[in-house]
Amino acid sequence: DAGVIQSPRHEVTEMGQEVTLRCKPISGHNSLFWYRQTMMRGLELLIYFNNNVPIDDSGMPEDRFSAKMPNASFSTLKIQPSEPRDSAVYFCASRILPGQGNPAFFGQGTRLTVV
């Protein structure tokens, strides 16, 4: 298996532009997570899905952020409009439910820079 695949690996955009990050979970995994990592705040959970259904989006910073999982093999995280403070590394992870005994596997991340 290729693991969790995220694209793009790097994204540089101007403030105010729309940004879409993509994630392909490991085949057969039915739980998917989006995290954001910065030096100041560490690794923060943004949202997670179980069986394609959003379970907890309380970590989404504000309405500018939205996430979708239209099917079991694809998820997107969209920021519109983007701001410089959104600059961070965004990670996607997936695992098999139920979670106990089944670890999560992370993608390589997308490094987002908003100028």
Partner 1 sequence: LAKTTQPISMDSYEGQEVNITCSHNNIATNDYITWYQQFPSQGPRFIIQGYKTKVTNEVASLFIPADRKSSTLSLPRVSLSDTAVYYCLRDTGRRALTFGSGTRLQVQP
Contacts to partner 1 by CB under 8 A: 4, 31, 33, 35, 42-43, 45, 48, 50, 55-56, 89, 91, 93, 97-101, 103-109, 111
**Is the Cβ of residue 16 or residue 61 nearer to partner 1 in the bound state?**
61
Distances (CA, A) of 102 to 29, 63, 95, 99: 10, 32, 7, 5
Min. distance of Cβ 70 from partner 1 in angstroms? Answer: 20
- Distance from the first to the final alpha carbon of the chain: 36
Q: Which residue has the tokens 């490991």?
A: 26
**Pairing mode, if any, of strands 10-13 and 110-114?**
parallel
Q: How many CB atoms lie within 10 A of CB 109?
A: 19
**Is the Cβ of residue 3 or residue 16 nearer to partner 1 in the bound state?**
3
Min. distance of Cβ 52 from partner 1 in angstroms? Answer: 14
**Is the Cβ of residue 69 or residue 104 nearer to partner 1 in the bound state?**
104
Min. distance of Cβ 105 from partner 1 in angstroms? Answer: 7
